[in-house]
Amino acid sequence: MTTATAHLADTSKPAPSSTRAVGLWLFACAGMVLAMVVIGGVTRLTGSGLSMVEWRPVYGFLPPLSGEAWQRVFGLYRATPQYLEVNAGMTLDAFRGIFWWEYFHRLWGRIIGLVFFLPFLWFLVRGRVRGALAVKLLGIFILGGAQGALGWYMVKSGLVDIPEVSQYRLTAHLSLAFLIYALLVWTGLSLVYPKRLSIGDGRHRQTRQLALIALGLVAITVVSGAFVAGTDAGFIFNTFPLMEGRLLPPGYFETLSAPFEDHGTIQFNHRLIAFTSFALIVWVWWHSRWLALIPRARRAANILLAAAFLQVGLGVSTLLLVVPVHLAACHQAGAMILFTATIWFVFELRPPASR
């Protein structure tokens, strides 16, 4: 294999310790957001998301602490469509089983807010965060608050007429989580690894453009997966590669709303976008083999390829086994790992700030 000649910026010198500390803190926050997404997936898969019918952002960190308190929240739940149509006759002990998942999901969100805001204030007071970076981090914190409100807006859609949340609101909720995660990861990378790789020739620029397209496709795949989750479209057509012997599901071209409403169409689109993303990632990795890359960038490319294969395997297995909770949660975690690897590789190929 021949490798194109390129000039590589000196990336061996580490960032200043103060800047690196801020970056590592952002990585820790990103890891907590990743865990939050997985917890949210398990909450949805276990039917726990509608068990808490109140939104108390300030005082809601305390769970029911007495028998009377448990009877109160259980009484509120028994008036919801989910109890009346799905869980009629559920006992208090069974209710506790679904309540704790949703409670922990909301509690984890509050903990993330504290883990972000308190160190942010400390770094701000100490002068380690200032200027544009301070504004960016404040913006991320505001997005985090909006995410909590959007989560409640999503839950409310399942407390009115039907015992299911709106797939549109669920998709918006998950998409905002991925946006916050991407901002945390990219900002953390830029602080921990401030030096940039110089682009030596057209091959580097072309590979970066392809990697950016791959990142966009991965993001679209996540959005399409949210529609699969929001409509339970993964519980039908549990065969692969065909859909119960068909290339296309029935009624694929019938209505304009089918990509967001028809379960078979939603699942097929997710398959199509996912495998298009996979093929492009393989192509990006192949392109990267002919570039002169620093070891860290080469590692990012290899991890990206491995993450893509892992995610495809998890997705197909989840479908064939009819969405077991543990495997579906791994598939959701795999989506975030793939998203992270794509961001990382795009980051490694960024052009210099100035020439």
pLDDT digits (tens, 9 = 90+) for 300-310: 999 999 999 99
Residues in the chain: 355
- State which amino acid sits at residue 195: K
| pTM score, whole prediction | 0.93
Backbone angles phi, psi at 258, to 5 degrees: -55, -40
From start to end of the chain, where are the E strands?
Answer: none
Residue 201 has a pLDDT of 62
Residues 274/312, Cβ–Cβ less than 8 Å: yes
**Average pLDDT score over the chain:** 91
Residues 15/193, Cβ–Cβ less than 8 Å: yes
Residues 233/259, Cβ–Cβ less than 8 Å: no
- State which amino acid sits at residue 352: P
CA dist list (Å): 49 to 42, 130, 329, 336:
9, 39, 15, 21
Tokens matching residue 343:
């961001």
Residue 353 has a pLDDT of 60
Rounded-to-integer distance, Cα 222 and Cα 121, Å: 33
Rounded-to-integer distance, Cα 343 and Cα 6, Å: 22
**What is the residue whose two structure tokens read 């069974």?**
94
pLDDT at 254 over 90: no
Rounded-to-integer distance, Cα 171 and Cα 180, Å: 14
Contacts of 89 (CB under 8 A, 6+ apart): none
pLDDT digits (tens, 9 = 90+) for 275-298: 999 999 999 999 999 888 889 999
pLDDT-derived band at 1, boundaries 50, 70, 90: very low
Backbone angles phi, psi at 78, to 5 degrees: -70, -10
pLDDT digits (tens, 9 = 90+) for 57-116: 777 778 999 999 999 999 999 999 999 999 999 999 999 999 999 999 999 999 999 999
Which range, of 157-161, 231-235, 269-273, averages the lowest pLDDT?
157-161
